[in-house]
Structure formats: structure tokens, C-alpha cells
Amino acid sequence: MKIQLWREALAPYHLAVEELMVKFNHIIKECRETGNYSPIEAVQGRVKKISSILDKAQRKGIPLNEFTERLDDIAGIRIICQFVEDIDTVVRLIRDRRDMEVVSERDYISHIKESGYRSYHINVLYEVNTMDGSHKIQVEIQIRTMAMNFWATIEHSLRYKYKEELPEALSARLKTAADAVLAMDCEMSAIRDEIVDAQRLFQEKASVVADILNNLQNLYSGEEEYEDAMLNIQNEFYEIYHNGSLEELEDFGRRLDKLAAVRKVQGLYSY
């Protein structure tokens, strides 16, 4: 590839990253909309900067006309999970997909890198279609927990600053931090069920409250004679919201649903 054509050469990589971000974000949306736990917490994507491509190509002795074939992480997706167990779920999910073909996997969670780095890497081939036709793009998917991501992001910026030559003392501190991150992931896994349950309750409550507020808005006619009735409903809602259980809130929501249905039929608004 001629260096002046790098922009064109990278276009399909940008498309691959954009499409994959949409697809992985859709998994989160699908889970949340169906009230299920999402093994994916967040998705990030990037196309490697041309300067980083040049550095890596030089470091690995790859000629410029071969870098698109020989560098497998020009397109990168990072999937952030809450718990280590979720990483396995995401890995299975990727292996089962028809729109990407797994070409290699590197497990830096079972085999922690010398630096202390932990992540699961899956390299896939992903097909994109541009005006020039179809391109099979190599994409590196890194899957890690939020804690692993915190460590890797900090370590990466330090490594960049020191151009891979990290001072020994700093390296030792980073390893201590990596041990702490490992311990934290283990602790979080131990109380995973409790955390997931709390998050589910929070989501459920938020969804019930959104429905109630929607109904209240629809019931509000603005007519003066119904002001008192609406105020009573509102006060009852506040009382249950602050002091009641989720079941009471759901029950209040159901009563409001019925009331809204009756009002719809009657075309009247009275409580």
C-alpha cells in the first residue's frame, strides 16, 4: 500500500468497527429491554492510529504494503464486563455468531502476562461491504472486566510515556496494582448474585416508575375540578415510592393502569 493511500485503506476498518459497535450495543439493549442481565456492560471501538500502525509495523518488521494483512488489530473492539464470569458468556456468544469467523483466541486471564495484563482476546474475520465490494476485515476483540480495563488503560498510558521502558519501581507498583485488581475481581465474583439481584431490582423499579409517571401524565387533564383527585394520586405515589416496597409500587401501577383504561373508555377524567 502506498502510504498516501492510508485513508482509503483504513475506510473498511472504520466501517467494521462502527457495525460491530452497533451489534454489541444491541446485545446490551436487547438484554435490558427484556429485563435480563447483560453480560456486556459497555463497548468501545477504535481503528488504530496511523502513527501506532507505523510504530507496530516497524517494531515487527512488517513492510508497509503488507500491514493490512499482517497486523490483526488495526480494527479493535473492547467489550467491558462487570464480572470475570461474564467474559466466558461473551466469548461463547462470539463463537456462536454467524457474522464473524473466529481465527484465534488468546487467554491472558488464565495466562496472565508478565506485565500483569489480563484480558481475553478473540481475533475474528468480519465482512464489510463498501462501494469497492466486500472486504474481510481482521478485528481484535478484547474482553475484560471493568477492573481489568482500569488497570490496562493506566498501564498503557504509562507504557506509552516511557516508550515500553518502564522504570523498575513503577513496573513493580503496577504489578502490585494488578494483584489488587485480581483480588477485587475475585471478591466481586463472590458476591455477584447479590449485586446482579440489586441491579435487577433497581432496573425493575425504574421501569415501574416510568410507567406510573407516563400514566399520571396521561391522566392529568389540566381541568380545575380534577386537581384534588390528581393531587391525591400524586401523594399516594410519593408515599409508596419513598416508603413502600416494589410490590406495592407495582400494585399502585396496576391500579393506575386500570384507571387509565376506564378513563380512556369514558373519555372522562375523574378520580
Active site residue: 33, 69, 85, 140, which one? 140
Which residues between 19 and 58 bind ligand 0O2 (CB under 6 A)?
A: 48, 52, 56
Which residues between 81 and 120 bind ligand 0O2 (CB under 6 A)?
A: 106, 113, 115, 117
* 73 is a site residue for ligand 0O2 (CB under 6 A): yes
Quick note: the x/- pattern for ligand 0O2 over 124-163, rule CB under 6 A, is ----------------------------x--xx-------
Exposure class string for 150-175: b at 16+ Cβ within 10 A, else e:
ebbeebeeebeeeeeebeeeebeebe
Which residues between 2 and 21 bind ligand 0O2 (CB under 6 A)?
A: none
**What grid cell was written down for 100?**
464473524
Residue 164 annotated among the catalytic residues of the structure: no
Choose between 48 and 253: whose C-beta lies nearer to ligand 0O2.
48
Total residues in contact with ligand 0O2, by rule CB under 6 A: 12
Eight-class DSSP state of 36: P
Q: Among all chains, which residue has been given the C-alpha cell 464473524? A: 100
Amino acid at 243: N
* 175 is a site residue for ligand 0O2 (CB under 6 A): no
d(CA 63, CA 14): 22
CB of 116 to ligand 0O2, least distance (A): 7
List all residues 6 or more positions away from 31 whose beta carbon is below 8 Å from its beta carbon.
Answer: 37, 38, 39, 40
Amino acid at 165: E
Eight-class DSSP state of 222: -
d(CA 151, CA 182): 10
CB of 64 to ligand 0O2, least distance (A): 17
Q: How far is CA 162 from CA 1, 93, 159, in A?
A: 30, 37, 5
**What grid cell was written down for 143?**
474482553
Choose between 48 and 240: whose C-beta lies nearer to ligand 0O2.
48
Choose between 27 and 158: whose C-beta lies nearer to ligand 0O2.
158
Eight-class DSSP state of 37: P
46: phi then psi, degrees, rounded to nearest 5:
-160, 155
Quick note: the x/- pattern for ligand 0O2 over 215-244, rule CB under 6 A, is ------------------------------
Positions that interact with ligand 0O2 (CB under 6 A): 48, 52, 56, 73, 106, 113, 115, 117, 121, 152, 155-156
Positions annotated as catalytic residues are 140
